[in-house]
Chains A and B, each alone.
Chain A
Amino acid sequence: KAGVTQTPRYLIKTRGQQVTLSCSPISGHRSVSWYQQTPGQGLQFLFEYFSETQRNKGNFPGRFSGRQFSNSRSEMNVSTLELGDSALYLCASSGQSVAGYTFGSGTRLTVV
């Protein structure tokens, strides 16, 4: 079956802009989580959605937000982009809990 699909793969944005990233989970998976990966901070949890509701949230500013649609597809939005937001943004889906996480290949965001 198809894996987790993230679009776009690469993105270049200017400081102050906003960006929306998309994640399509594995069919049947209802939990979608987002992570930010940087060389300095490693992989950090952003938030998790389950059945269109945010179930958990990491320690990121309010500029980072997300949502989940009825078909379990999820989007994350970053407003007022800063240079430090440059990172690989990873989405993972699972059936019920993190135990069955499958990651996508990520969206590489560069803020200039």
Chain B
Amino acid sequence: GESVGLHLPTLSVQEGDNSIINCAYSNSASDYFIWYKQESGKGPQFIIDIRSNMDKRQGQRVTVLLNKTVKHLSLQIAATQPGDSAVYFCAELYSGGGADGLTFGKGTHLIIQP
């Protein structure tokens, strides 16, 4: 079946640098995308979302970019802090397809170096 994938299982960045986490999705019909952050022992926490009629959305220190041409999604975190250490998941949804729940990528473990 179609799935959402992530390019890197682990990403290590220096504290204060910007982080970019990438995601490739395969279902061109997906119209809603979400980034989640999961810390150890906790459930996924919503970070930011974007609909397919947009190509960029900004939040507090985070930006999501959507490139529908190449079916690519990215999460940019500005001025990375120790508290950003977590596993990041992208998820997709085709809202008109019976909504078989969200399809999640495997996750990228973001490690912040002091």
Binding site for B on A (CB under 8 A): 4, 33, 35, 42-48, 55-59, 90, 92, 97-99, 101-106
Contact = CB atoms under 8 A, between A and B. Distances in A.
Nearest to B104: A43
Contact of A98 (B41, B42, B99, B106): B99
A21 to B, nearest CB: 13
Contacts of B105: 42
B100 A42 contact: no
Interface string B98-114: 11111111110000000
B98 A56 contact: yes
Interface of B: 1, 32, 34, 36, 41-46, 49, 89, 91, 93, 95, 98-107
For the complex of A and B, 9 pairs with smallest distance between CB atoms: A45-B101, A103-B43, A43-B104, A42-B106, A103-B44, A105-B43, A90-B43, A104-B43, A106-B43
A26 B44 CA distance: 15
B27 to A, nearest CB: 14
Contact of A101 (B100, B102, B103, B106): B102
Contacts of B49: 99
Given A42-B107, A43-B104, A98-B93, A56 B43 contact: no
